[in-house]
Amino acid sequence: MTRVLLTGFEPFDGEKTNPSWQAVRAAAAQPPAGLDLRTTELPCVFGEAARALRAAVAAHRPDVVICVGQAGGRPDITVERVAVNLDDARIPDNAGAAPIDEPVVEGGPAAYFATLPVKACVAAVRAAGLPASVSHTAGTFVCNHVFYALAHLIATELPALRGGFVHVPYAPEQVTGRAQPSLPVDTVARALREIAATAATTREDLRLPGGATH
């Protein structure tokens, strides 16, 4: 059994729900064959989220970590390729902090690439009939903060661990009365199962176009 840790976030920015955590729980309730899916909900708070992630990794000792967050406005499942060493908050986190132009890790590299087969994960989701794409920016809010913290942990302490980040759209109930794309939570959960299975079994990524012009 390959042990996969899935993390999602608590609601933030006035929302009552966060589809990342909803989908993570739903995915873990029906794990793919051969996978032991563990879950952890992270606080949407700079610093505290990274510490909670580290604690979850220590507790569950996973082979693969897939962190998941909400990216309202995106229409599909986006598998992140790059984490940057930058906290630059557009809005306050759930503790009221809004860092500007601060590093995630003082003295750390400018960026890390995900250690998951990003393009293979996207291809697997698309093969299941679900919308997905490669993303080259995880933003500069708590999602990127966690992604970078995970990548730094892997690079400096746990080289056998593999990990990355996935952004998901709003859930339908979040966009009532406003023109924003959304995906049902069960659809997102199906995509996460495909990503987890692919990440667990694929070491070498596909050589397919995955760049973006904007």
Which residue numbers are catalytic?
A: 80, 143, 167
Q: Is 166 helix (H, G, I), strand (E, B) or coil?
A: strand
What is the H or E stretch that residue 155 is in?
helix 142-156
Tell me the Ramachandran region of residue 99: left when phi exceeds 0, alpha when psi lies from -120 to 50, beta otherwise: beta
Distance spanning both ends of the chain, measured CA to CA: 39
Report the distance separating Cα 190 and Cα 65, nearest Å: 17
Report the distance separating Cα 117 and Cα 136, nearest Å: 14
Number of other CB atoms surrounding residue 174 within 10 Å = 18
Q: Is 178 helix (H, G, I), strand (E, B) or coil?
A: coil
Under DSSP, the state recorded for 31 is P
Tell me the Ramachandran region of residue 70: left when phi exceeds 0, alpha when psi lies from -120 to 50, beta otherwise: beta
Report the distance separating Cα 76 and Cα 41, nearest Å: 22
Report the distance separating Cα 80 and Cα 182, nearest Å: 18
